[in-house]
């Protein structure tokens, strides 16, 4: 009996581990659709190798979450819960915030850390990280359809010029805007499709963390924390 339970637990753990590996290594396909027609709405779908599927739908009238794991389907209805006001807890939280702000004001970062953060090589590494992540999560397809207008006609004209330039720059993106002249009007739909590989984001983040400019900053922060801790021990011992 005990051996059977152990095998069952081991099997569940192996399934969870396999799903985690799939989540990190296998590209996650995603599709986001949303818009506004008298009311806002949004749907989000993601799929991992056909094994794990998640679908989320939000409308002002209802919010639902669907997910499927290895063919097992489940539907959840998400409803907002109204919390009762707790004056005492809020007062305690406010007191904690005051204490935290006073502590933060005392422990301001030294000029050495600020100088390291403002170095050109560190800023270059950070900018490269942002660009790399944008390229990794960049959607493969984007489609926008809408009827949009502003009170000022020249704003509507600028929007048309922007959509035309956007379409000519990105081949996989399609922006169709029908102008509404002389009045403020908004009705639009947007669809975004793409893939995200988490392991690529992790590798790029690790590359940023171990880069020489980043190590210089981490070293300064570590030295500052070590010094402040030593000073606190000295003051408490007096």
Strands 141-149 and 28-36: unpaired
pLDDT in tens, 154-197: 888 998 888 888 888 877 788 888 888 888 888 999 999 988 88
The residue extents of the domains of the chain are 26-79
pLDDT in tens, 4-15: 787 778 888 887
Q: What is the pLDDT along the chain (238 residues), one digit of tens a residue?
A: 567 787 778 888 887 887 788 778 888 888 888 888 777 888 888 887 667 788 888 877 777 777 676 667 777 666 655 454 554 555 555 555 544 444 444 455 677 778 878 888 899 999 999 999 988 888 888 899 999 988 888 888 998 888 888 888 877 788 888 888 888 888 999 999 988 888 999 999 999 999 998 998 888 888 888 888 877 777 765 5
Question: How crowded is the C-beta side of 238, counted as CA atoms within 13 Å?
Answer: 5
């Amino acid at each position: 009996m005990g051996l059977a339970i152990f095998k069952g637990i081991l099997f569940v753990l192996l399934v969870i581990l396999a799903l985690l590996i799939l989540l990190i290594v296998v590209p996650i396909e995603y599709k986001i659709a949303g818009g506004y027609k008298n009311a806002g709405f949004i749907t989000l779908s993601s799929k991992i190798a056909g094994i794990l599927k998640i679908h989320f739908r939000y409308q002002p009238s209802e919010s639902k979450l669907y997910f499927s794991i290895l063919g097992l389907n489940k539907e959840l209805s998400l409803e907002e819960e109204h919390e009762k006001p707790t004056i005492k807890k809020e007062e305690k939280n406010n007191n904690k915030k005051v204490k935290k702000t006073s502590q933060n004001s005392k422990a301001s970062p030294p000029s050495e850390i600020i100088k390291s953060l403002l170095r050109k090589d560190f800023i270059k590494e950070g900018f490269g990280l942002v660009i790399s992540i944008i390229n990794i999560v960049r959607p493969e397809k984007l489609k926008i359809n809408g009827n949009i207008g502003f009170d000022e006609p020249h704003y509507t004209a600028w929007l048309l010029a922007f959509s035309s330039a956007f379409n000519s720059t990105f081949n996989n993106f399609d922006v169709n805007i029908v102008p509404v002249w002389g009045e403020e009007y908004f009705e639009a739909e947007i669809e975004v499709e793409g893939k995200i590989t988490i392991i690529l984001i992790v590798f790029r983040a690790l590359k940023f963390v171990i880069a020489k400019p980043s190590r210089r900053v981490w070293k300064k922060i570590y030295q500052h924390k070590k010094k402040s801790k030593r000073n606190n021990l000295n003051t408490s011992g007096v």
